[in-house]
Structure 1
Amino acid sequence: MTASPLVIVGDALLDIDIDGSATRLSPEAPVPVVDVERGWQRPGGAGLAALLAARTHDDVVLITGVADDAAGRQLSELLTSSGVRVVALPMRGSTVSKTRVRAGGQSVLRIDRGDAAPVPGPLPRAAAEALAGAGAICVADYGRGVAALPALREALRAAAAHTPVVWDPHPRGADPVPGCRLVTPNEDEAQHFCGASRVPGELLRDRWDADAVCVTLGARGARVFGADGTRTHVVTPALATGSVREDTCGAGDRFAVAATAALAEGADTLAAVAAAVDAAARFVAAGGAAGVSSPVPAAHGGPLADTDHGTTDAVTLAARLRAEGRTVVATGGCFDLLHTGHIRLLRTARELGDALIVLINSDDSVRALKGPSRPVMPAEDRARVLAALACVDAVAVFDEATPADLLDAIAPDIWVKGGDYTADQLPEADVVTRHGGDVVIVPTVAGYSSSALIAAARSGQPTER
């Protein structure tokens, strides 16, 4: 942890994702009709960068514009409840929100609302103090005016003389202030800024008077252009992959935040970029921005968004989907301290059908399996965390050693289990196959175990990967 705060600067948005199914076309036009099943929300833009920073740092400050409307208040609540200190700049207009509608995992439509813009003027004292005392600063420019404010730019220019500044630029945004330690355009952005230049990183480093420019290349890693004319390619680490489509939403923010954090800890530029490439790759592998989303209000998310995800809901949902001829997938386990292996399992399972129901052991059931010191998280909290994931449609709790009785009621088309089992080793497999369902075993992700993570946390020792 850093003694000084990580400060995030930029445009905060409200992102809303609506997921459903599309099995017919509208009679009014040749467009799909989406039956809404789930919805979730999260801070977007610089708000997402701050949220990601707060997952690993105790002291995170976000300097951003916040409009005085319902969406702005919701955005502020999402941030502050995640441990982010918000320093609000005056705004005019309404909060910018982006609503993405998906059916069967495919994007159908995006609806943008809001016209908020920052009001130029003196920099609030709280913002000036945060920048002056920052351990490192990340500017997440989303082209909506915060990074172009003259007073803020002057403070950033002064801070860059003694504090690492990482600037994630936007094609519609302001140029980075001179003296940034690192500027991180992606490949398309770099070409936009440079036109047909074959070496955009070198040109941009000189144009922006930055110590280094890092052009991010997605799955191919990143290329760093240093002040001494060197070029270094940092490759993406090899991670376990599955058959799912990986969601890269938020990967750029995760990269910029990880690089900022590494610089705050004293890393040199190449080491910071290597840490950022690794962090962004793991973020995408773990489900991307969906893993930090919360259920939206019923007005946005439809009838499933406000349920308590109990047993009745799971059984009712399964019955309705089966009646519609759709594929119900279920998986189960303790899920006591959610980790990357769990996310991979859940996303893989969800891709096998039209809905995923997660069955979790009750507290008594976990104690019987794991011992008196478990679970770390009570069933209610475990269910709430799982239900907030985009790939989970319902959660149910069972008290027995196995979920056989609950599976009998749900009768899933596919039962997914993670590990090195075979189908005949699972006591609940007979129930699934009796209803005509199939059992699918998904290999675990090496290096991830709730028991190991909990033991390491209790001993104060870092876990090995």
Structure 2
Amino acid sequence: MARLPNHEGLANQEGLADWVPGRLAEERPVVTVIGDSILDGWWEGTIERFCREAPAPVVQVQRRDFAPGGAANTAMNLAAMGAEVRFVSLIGEDPAGRTLLGQLRSTGVDVSHVVAHSAMTTTTKYRVSSGGQVMLRLDDAATEIPDAGLEEMAAAVPEAIRGSAAVVLCDYAAGALEGPVRNSILRHLGPRGDTTDSPDSGPSRQDTLVVVDAHHPGRWAELRPDLATPNAQEAARLLGTEFPGGAARCPFVEAHGDQLLSASGAGAVVVTLDREGTLTIRRKAPQDVATHRTWARPEAEKQASGAGDTFVAALTLARSAGLPLTTSVDLAQAAADVVVHRPGTSVCTTEELAKHLRGFADTALTATELAQHVDEHRRAGRRIVLTNGCFDVLHRGHTRYLNQAKQLGDVLVVALNSDSSVRQLKGPERPVNHEADRAAVIAALSCVDHVTVFDTPTPIPLIELLRPDVYAKGGDYTPEMLQETEAVERCGGTVTILDYVPEHSTTAVLERIRSTGETPKS
């Protein structure tokens, strides 16, 4: 399988935008999804009166839409992004089950391993809305899971996972992954290195990525999955504690990273935090945990559902195709951002993801345009953070610094030195990348909200125009050393000096490239 160079995050977003629809379509990695199916119903209508029997609105239904949800939505997203998908689940022999199977088949998902049982009820969630506002949700689900259906589903697992590049377990505690199904998964997809390639044991874990998306991730700890993707509530349950709200959640998760890894048994844990993005935790060394943050790009509430399924699908596909973990998480965040801006349950296609990534190109704003955006943010009560730099060859030191800067406020503005000013600062051989390319790369980072280019000796004119609440600077400076400090404080802001990471300097990266011809690995 072809591999993309080991870039940090979405640093090569333009290359990714071209690679996503092409390479994934060519490679078509086989991904098996095993889990609880849901049929999502979205019924939209108008309200003109209240019913006589009770003080309840009467919704005159004008439109009925149905879409696969839960594990079925993960399968749909994987297929839409170019994977060859096998689906293993248990549904009923009812209209909802037939609708679900029909929609899965229409997108090319292999449903030959889906068990339809007469004693099973297909879980259906009907959302009744008017004017874009959900008024009521009706859930129709099985009260008992037929043992015969579970036995049949368990028997389908070995063949479904054989030869798969990845397996996703979508365990929403609805019953499909209980008893014999769980035993079959553990037997045929045991911890990495514990299985053989015999007909009885299934494929070797050496060749299979295992992702656990579960309400109770600890339940699959003995499987030692490569990735676990709990949301905040599921991660809190894994730790046996409650999470703080708002901006405090991410630092709390980071502080408990070691416990999350141990409790989940996973090689890496990606905690999804809804509007606050995600935090990835992986073990760098026995006593050292590394993290990577992404930031969501939320818009007005659109009653979207299933963005988490899209995230898991894109993350799985990117990792199974050989992308680095940090790049895969950023790509998954981008895919989730696509669907969260739509009403209902939807999927992100390769073309839509590529278009979204390309949209970051040529995104540098003029000072006037930027000032207008900042004024809008300030009227909404958002705290503005400004930082500046060359950001020529993006590396881990840069992304760590920018993520720290983002956490100082609500909106992060990055001002890039123009090509001419970089030459004055760094010498005639710099910059390596043109200012338009540097702007596109920086804009693609989920922590960055706006990018501009400045050509003055210092960013003081921009500071006086934008009047940021915080001016962030990295390196071995003190506020007293910076010419900008007086302007920032005169405008009512504060100066914050962030971590200096000398081992990840651009100069060091360039020297290594020149000496070895290789890009440093993340």
TM-score range (shorter-chain normalised) is 0.5 to 0.7
Change (3 A) 1:93 1:245: same
Give, in whole Å, the separation in 2 of the partners of 1:186 and 1:338. Answer: 23
CA shift, 1:251, in A, is 0.7
Report 1:290-309 matches (<5 A).
290=346
Letter of the structure 2 residue corresponding to residue 151 of structure 1: S
Q: 2:321 aligns with which of 224, 243, 265?
A: 265
Q: Counterpart of 1:100?
A: 127
Aligned-pair distance for 1:339? 10
Say yes or no: does 1:117 pair with 2:145.
yes
Identity of paired residues, percent? 31
Q: Check 1:59–1:290 CA distance in 2 against 1; reply closer, same or farther (3 A cut).
A: closer
Q: Provide the aligned C-alpha RMSD in A.
A: 3.0
Structure 1 CA distance for aligned equivalents of residues 45 and 218 of structure 2: 34
Q: How does 1:16-415 map to 2 (within 5 A)?
A: 16-86=41-111, 87-89=113-115, 91=117, 92-115=119-142, 117=145, 119=147, 120-121=150-151, 126-148=156-178, 149=181, 150-157=183-190, 158=195, 160-171=205-216, 174-196=219-241, 198-199=252-253, 200-228=256-284, 229-236=288-295, 244-287=300-343, 289-290=345-346
Of Structure 1 and Structure 2, the greater helix share is in: 2
Deviation string for 1:325-353 (max 9, x for gaps)?
A: xxxxxxxxxxxx99989xxxxxxxxxxxx
Partner Cα separation in structure 1 for residue 209 and residue 43 of structure 2: 38
Distance 1:126 1:206, change over 3 A: same
- SS of alignment partner, residue 76 of structure 1: helix
Cα distance between partner residues in 1 of 2:222 and 2:319: 18
Q: Which of 1 and 2 has greater Rg?
A: 2
SS class of match (1:28): coil
CA deviations over 1:252-299 (Å, ceiling 9, x no partner): 10010011001111123222212111211122135562568xxxxxxx
Q: Is the 8 A contact 1:8 1:140 kept in 2?
A: yes
Partner of 1:12: 37
Shift in alpha-carbon separation, 1:156–1:32, aligned structure 2, 3 A: farther
Q: Report if aligned partners of 1:259, 1:273 keep a CA contact under 8 Å in 2.
A: yes
8 Å CA contact 1:58, 1:83 repeated in 2: no
Evaluate the alpha carbon distance shift between residue 288 and residue 222 of structure 1 in structure 2; reply closer, same or farther with a 3 A threshold.
Answer: farther
Q: Using CA pairs below 8 Å that are at least 6 residues apart, which structure has the higher relative contact order?
A: 2
Separation of aligned partners in 1, 2:269 and 2:218: 17
How many correspondences in the alignment? 296
CA–CA distance in 1 between the matches of 2:47 and 2:146? 39
Query: Are the equivalent residues in 1 in contact too, given 2:92–2:121 (CA < 8 A)?
Result: yes
- Equivalent pair of 2:43/2:128 in contact (CA under 8 Å): yes
- What TM-score, normalized to structure 1? 0.58
Measured in 2, the distance between the counterparts of 1:249 and 1:130 equals: 28
Counterpart CA distance in 2 for 1:85 and 1:146 is 18
Q: Which amino acid in the other structure matches residue 37 of structure 1? A: Q
Q: Is the CA contact 1:94–1:114 (under 8 Å) kept in the aligned structure 2?
A: yes
Distance in 2 between residues matched to 1:22 and 1:172, nearest whole Å: 42
Distance 1:271 1:339 in 2: 14
Distance, in Å, in 2 between the alignment partners of 1:195 and 1:124 is 30
User: In 2, Cα distance between the equivalents of 1:205 and 1:280?
Assistant: 24
Q: Deviations over 1:166-200 (max 9, x none)?
A: 11111599435522111001112211232327445
Does the CA-based 8 Å contact 2:279-2:293 persist in structure 1?
yes
Structure 2, unmatched stretches of 5+, are 1-23, 196-203, 243-251, 357-442, 445-522
What is the distance in 2 between the residues matched to 1:270 and 1:139? 21
For 1:143 and 1:338, the matched residues in 2 are separated by 30
User: Secondary structure, in 3 states, of the residue corresponding to 2:32?
Assistant: strand
TM-score w.r.t. the length of structure 2 is 0.52
Is contact 1:147-1:153 (8 Å) kept? no
Contact kept? 2:34, 2:170, Cα under 8 Å: yes
CA distance in 1, matches of 2:167, 2:174: 19
The 3-state SS of whatever aligns with 2:319 is: helix
Distance 1:31 1:288, change over 3 A: closer
Distance 1:73 1:123, change over 3 A: closer
1:9 is displaced (CA, Å) by 1.1
